[in-house]
């Protein structure tokens, strides 16, 4: 069974940093492009970032470019999102997801003083 | 960016009746080289992550009941629930994965009449 389990969310002050992790199991992680998508509770879905199977190609939404970094460790079957210079508008549930596939349960990031 | 527009924003359907959700993309998501539409549909219930229902515009994900079907090509797509069940109450999103940034429709809330 495919499982994606996010962790690392929490409360952080504006300007602060967080590192999200997504532990993958039940499939060959190293063969899938992976994404981060966020959702303000009660609102719609917004794509954040994408990474290729070997990590050599990454893409970002304009709203996070230069502040967020996506990476992966295929040996550990884990996807990461390093989030720096966080803003109040980054407050959301962050999901890791497979393109046209499963999503994790999400981890809540709250940016507030 | 490709803008995805869903209609209606919400609909109420009687149990056992048909529910139809439309999705229009601002440009074609049909990739001519493989004749595939890079369009998926997701279902999201309260407190849960999105669940993939349909990909390639009309391919049902494994385990998805056959009352869910997708159709359309190019810029106009439809998700149909042929006989609405109580467990289908949710918000439904279309998504294009033709190009980065991946983009989602605003969501359609389906309720029981």
Summarised one tens digit per residue, pLDDT across range B75-92 is: 999 999 999 999 999 999
- Give the dihedral sign, CA B73/B99/B4/A29: positive
Percentage with pLDDT > 90 across chain A: 97
Q: Which residue among A35, A44, A47 sits closest to B106, beta carbon to beta carbon?
A: A44
Å from B50 to nearest chain A CA?
A: 7
Q: Does B63 touch chain A (CB under 8 A)?
A: no
Q: Does B109 touch chain A (CB under 8 A)?
A: no
User: What is the predicted pLDDT for the residue at A19?
Assistant: 98
Cβ contacts of B54 on chain A, cutoff 8 Å = none
Q: Which residue among A35, A44, A101 sits closest to B52, beta carbon to beta carbon?
A: A101
Q: A99 and B97: CB-CB below 8 Å?
A: yes
Average pLDDT over residues A17-28: 97
Angle at Cα A59 formed by Cα A57 and Cα A64, nearest 5°?
Answer: 145
* CB burial string A87-113: b at 16+ within 10 A, e below: eeebbbbbbbbbbbbbbbebbebebee
Rounded CA-CA distance B81/B78 in Å is: 10
Average pLDDT over residues A39-68: 97
Sheet bearing B68-73, strands edge to edge: B4-7, B19-25, B76-81, B68-73
Q: How many residues does chain B have?
A: 113
Q: What are phi and psi of B65, to 5 degrees?
A: -60, 145
Q: A100 and B52: CB-CB below 8 Å?
A: yes
User: What is the predicted pLDDT for the residue at A109?
Assistant: 98
Rounded CA-CA distance A60/B42 in Å is: 22
Q: A100 and B93: CB-CB below 8 Å?
A: no
Q: Which residue among A47, A95, A101 sits closest to B102, beta carbon to beta carbon?
A: A47
**Tokens 């001519």 belong to residue:** B32
User: What is the predicted pLDDT for the residue at B36?
Assistant: 97
Q: B40 and A59: CB-CB below 8 Å?
A: no
Q: Which DSSP string corresponds to B20-86?
A: EEEEEESS--EETTTTEE-EEEEEE-TTS--EEEEETTTEEPTT--TTEEEEEETTEEEEEESS--G
Average pLDDT over residues A11-33: 97
Cβ contacts of A104 on chain B, cutoff 8 Å = 49
- Band of residue A101 on the pLDDT scale cut at 50, 70, 90: confident
CA distances from B45 to A9, A48, A52, B52, B83 (A): 22, 21, 29, 12, 18
Say if residue A99's pLDDT is above 90. no
User: What is the predicted pLDDT for the residue at A100?
Assistant: 82
Q: Which residue among A45, A101, A105 sits closest to B104, beta carbon to beta carbon?
A: A45
- Band of residue A80 on the pLDDT scale cut at 50, 70, 90: very high
Say if residue A110's pLDDT is above 90. yes
Mean pLDDT in consecutive groups of 10 residues from the start of chain B, 113 residues: 98 98 98 96 97 98 97 98 98 97 98 97
Count CB neighbours of B52 within 10 A. 22
B93 within 8 A of B9, measured Cβ to Cβ: no
């Amino acid at each position: 069974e495919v499982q994606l389990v996010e962790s690392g969310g929490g409360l952080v002050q504006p300007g602060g940093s967080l590192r999200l992790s997504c532990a993958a199991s039940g499939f060959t992680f190293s063969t899938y492009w992976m994404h981060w998508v966020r959702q303000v509770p009660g609102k719609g879905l917004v794509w954040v970032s994408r990474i290729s199977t070997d990590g050599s190609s990454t893409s970002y939404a304009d709203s996070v470019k230069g502040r967020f970094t996506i990476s992966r460790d295929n040996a550990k079957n884990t996807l990461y999102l390093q989030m720096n210079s966080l803003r109040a508008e980054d407050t959301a549930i962050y999901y890791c997801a497979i393109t046209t596939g499963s999503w994790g349960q999400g981890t809540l990031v709250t940016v507030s003083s | 960016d490709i803008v995805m527009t869903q209609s209606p924003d919400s609909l109420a359907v009687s149990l056992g009746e048909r529910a139809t959700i439309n999705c229009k993309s601002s440009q074609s998501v049909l990739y001519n080289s493989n004749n595939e539409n890079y369009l998926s549909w997701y279902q999201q219930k309260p407190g849960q992550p999105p669940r993939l229902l349909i990909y390639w515009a009309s391919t049902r994900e494994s385990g998805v009941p056959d009352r869910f079907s997708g159709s359309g090509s190019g810029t106009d797509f439809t998700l149909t629930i042929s006989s609405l069940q109580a467990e289908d109450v949710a918000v439904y999103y279309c998504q294009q994965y033709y190009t980065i940034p991946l983009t989602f429709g605003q969501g359609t809330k389906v309720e029981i009449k």
